[in-house]
Amino acid sequence: MNDKRIEAEDLRAMLGYTCRRIQEEESNLNALDAAVGDGDHGITMRIGFQAIQGSLDATPREATLTDVLREAGKAFMGATGGAIGIIFGRMFIGGGTALAGVKEIGPVEFKTMLEAMEASVVKAGKAQPGDKTLLDSLHTACESLNSQPPCRSLAEAASRAADAAEEGAQSTAEMHCRLGRGSRLGDRVIGHRDPGAVSFSLVLRSMAEWVNAMDSASAPKV
């Protein structure tokens, strides 16, 4: 079993890998958004995650887990604006704040981070589960980490959360939009997943891929 825990330097590498994976999905995310919004979600994510990459490069070596996540959130928010910029930005900042004083992320700290991310998104976006937003994948991911048995490794926690986030994102296809532009489209959004929920599931999937590859020679570093 891969029972590694990750320090700030690993988190930086994991986020760097996530930045690359999200940018590869730009056109897919734009296509999803074209069905329920204005078709620019992939562009926004590319800009936001490029800014996160820039913050990772600029953050000093001695940065803590909290510093890395907070700087990532600030960079995303500063680069993108709009509701999704605030939501993704506050999400990373909230996750980082919850890890203050923590040196390593294992399964327990990973759950702490995700729960703080959910609380930040709820506060920033005023959405509830079922509103066809990013929260539908994030909330499902958090719930999966509360189910039994508890995860014994970070690799297990990250994989379980990523699987649940994908299910949560898939479930948004059956939902109406209550907030934002999509709320005026009524039944026309049925059958289409929420782009933000899909993006968040991609973030968790990227983290899970990175953690699971960490032990092998091909572990994607920086």
The footprint of Mg ion (CB under 5 A) covers 33, 37-38, 40-41
The CB-of-123 to Mg ion minimum distance in angstroms stands at 22
Q: Minimal distance in Å, beta carbon 33 to Mg ion? A: 5
DSSP letters, 59-119, are S-TT--HHHHHHHHHHHHHHHH-HHHHHHHHHHHHHHHHHTTT---B-HHHHHHHHHHHHH
What gap in Å lies between CA 67 and CA 58, rounded to an integer?
11
Return d(Cα 93, Cα 95) in angstroms, integer. Answer: 5
In whole angstroms, how close is the CB of 188 to Mg ion at the nearest point?
Answer: 15
> Measured from the CB atom, is 137 or 159 closer to Mg ion?
137
Residue nearest to Mg ion (CB): 37
Using the minimum distance from each CB to Mg ion, give the nearer residue, 39 or 106. 39
Closer residue to Mg ion, CB minimum distance, 41 or 160: 41
- Which residue lies nearer to Mg ion by CB, 13 or 32? 32
Distance CA 56, CA 35 (A): 33
What count of other Cβ atoms lies within 10 Å of the Cβ of residue 16? 19
Report in angstroms how near the CB of residue 97 gets to Mg ion at its nearest.
28
CB atoms near residue 181 (< 10 Å): 13
Nearer of residues 37 and 73 to Mg ion, judged by Cβ: 37
Contact predicate 164/140, CB 8 Å: yes
Q: What are the phi and psi torsion angles at 119 (to 5°)?
A: -60, -40
State the minimum distance, in angstroms, from the CB of residue 194 to Mg ion: 11
